[in-house]
Amino acid sequence: MTYTVTPNCVRRDNKVATIDFQKLFLEKLNNQVQQYNICGVVTTDGVVYPLGSDTKVLSTIFELVTRPIIANIATENRLIYVEPSVQNHYPDFTLMENADDPKKIAIDVKTTYVDNLGDTFSYTLGGYTSFIRGNGKKNIVYPYSQYSEHWVVGYVYQRVAKKKAAGLQTFKIEDLPKISLPFDHVQVFVQKKWKISSDRAGSGNTTNIGSIRGTIDDFRNGNTPFRTEAEFLDYWRNYERTAAERKGKFSNITEFRRRHWIK
């Protein structure tokens, strides 16, 4: 879906003005009233279904929290924001002047939970054999080369509800105070994607980039093993799919740098 706010972007000297996305997003999130008081889904006749603890459902809830903030940033900076029309396409939101803008901003929303405050966590950050390679057009809204910034808005919550279905009970609108929130202690970070990327693939047999594993402060500080975004891209564009294929090449950042030093 494409949302056109105004036809022009803010310009300085005929160049697209750079926005400080991290600062703008966190400021607007902090000013948002009742940020996370979402306890259920309402039908048109006023029946409320409690959320429960299904992680996919809760991920959608945090995307809903994010959307109006992105829209507001677009409005204030005379930009357009776009959401993918295909479910498995990156990113969740694109900020841009127009479709020809060579400095688009990608924003992806990531959500996970911890059992206890201070626990470490991680995410997967998208495939390393798709849009960051070749012509950069696979599974991405616009070609990768047209994006100048890639941001991750990460939500980490403490899970309260233990069941996917929050019981069989439904509620009426007037009973909202009786519905318990399925999560608590929501923490947020906004960081550039490469700064939270690790040098290991994500869990399982998928060809996904793995994030660092750390606390919320590690993500806020961007404690990546990569020195630059260029190094991050070079690493993952050449990272092989399987352990057998990586044998004799590299499987971590130390081996990668040694290989380049030998060259």
> What pLDDT sits at residue 69?
95
CB of 211 closer than 8 Å to CB of 198: yes
190-236: pLDDT as tens digits = 999 999 999 999 876 779 999 999 999 999 999 999 999 999 999 99
Give the model confidence (pLDDT) of 113-154 as tens digits: 999 889 999 999 999 999 999 888 999 999 999 999 999 999
Q: What would the pLDDT profile of 223-246 be if each residue is shown by its tens digit?
A: 999 999 999 999 999 999 988 899
Average pLDDT rounded to a whole number, residues 246-260: 92
Q: What is the mean pLDDT of residues 95-114?
A: 96
Structure-block tokens of residue 210? 């793995």
The catalytic residues are: 92, 108, 110
Q: Is 170 in contact with 208 (CB distance < 8 Å)? A: no
Q: Look at residue 263 in the predicted model and tell me its pLDDT.
A: 53
pLDDT (tens digit per residue) in 61-100: 899 999 999 999 999 999 999 999 988 899 999 999 999 9
Q: What pLDDT score was predicted for residue 16?
A: 45
Rg (CA), the chain: 20
Distance of alpha carbon 68 from alpha carbon 48, whole angstroms: 22
Query: Which CA distances in Å does 239 have to 132, 203, 243, 254, 256?
Result: 12, 15, 10, 13, 9
pLDDT at 5 over 70: no
DSSP strand pairing (47-50 vs 197-201):
unpaired
Domains in the chain, CATH or no CATH each:
2-225 (3.40.600.10)
Structure confidence at residue 34 as a pLDDT band (50, 70, 90)? low
The sign one gets for the Cα dihedral 130, 136, 138, 143 is positive
**Residue 112 in this model has a pLDDT that exceeds 80:** yes
Residue 186 and residue 234: Cα distance in Å, rounded? 34
Cβ contact 83:1 at 8 Å: yes
| Preceding peptide of 50 cis, ω within 30° | no
Model pTM above 0.85: yes
CA–chain centroid gap for 177, Å, is 31
Structure tokens at 149: 């910034």
Cα 231 to Cα 61, 149, 227, distances in angstroms: 34, 15, 7
- pLDDT band for position 57 (50/70/90)? confident
